[in-house]
Amino acid sequence: MKLNILSPAANRIDFKVPQAKRLDTLAGKTIGLYNNMTGGADVAVDRAAQLISDRFSNVKFERYGGPVREGRPVLSRAVHIDEDEANKIATEVDAMIGATAH
């Protein structure tokens, strides 16, 4: 008798993305908050916004995820930010925080 053992794991794909340039301060900046609509992601970005607001003055937050931008993609667990949307977001914020909680 022969036994075949199979792994359900996907093949690993390694790629590197350069780190974004760090901001000198968050004071007076606009921070994007991306909620990918998984359970708890909204809690995570809300908490990040609160902690940043407590520490830095004049911070503005723009939210992404769900149906929050009229005329823009409804971002969800199934529809993520694509290159076109990423380019638009880059013109609207100084930095971005993303949450992919469960």
Q: What is the pTM of this model?
A: 0.76
Assess contact for 66 and 35: CB atoms under 8 A.
yes
pLDDT of residue 102: 62
Residue 95 included in any domain: yes
pLDDT band for position 77 (cuts 50, 70, 90): confident
Distance from C-alpha of 1 to C-alpha of 30, rounded to nearest angstrom: 64
- 20 versus 46: the higher-pLDDT residue is 46
pLDDT band for position 8 (cuts 50, 70, 90): confident
pLDDT at residue 101 greater than cutoff 90: no
Domain count, the chain: 1
pLDDT band for position 28 (cuts 50, 70, 90): very high
Residue 7 included in any domain: no
72 Cβ contact list (under 8 Å, min separation 6): 85, 88
Residue 24 included in any domain: no
Residue-range definition of the domain harbouring residue 82: 30-99
Residue 80 included in any domain: yes
Residue 81 included in any domain: yes
Residues 93-99: what's their mean pLDDT?
93
Residue 5 included in any domain: no
Residue 20 included in any domain: no
Residue 3 included in any domain: no
Distance from C-alpha of 55 to C-alpha of 59, rounded to nearest angstrom: 10
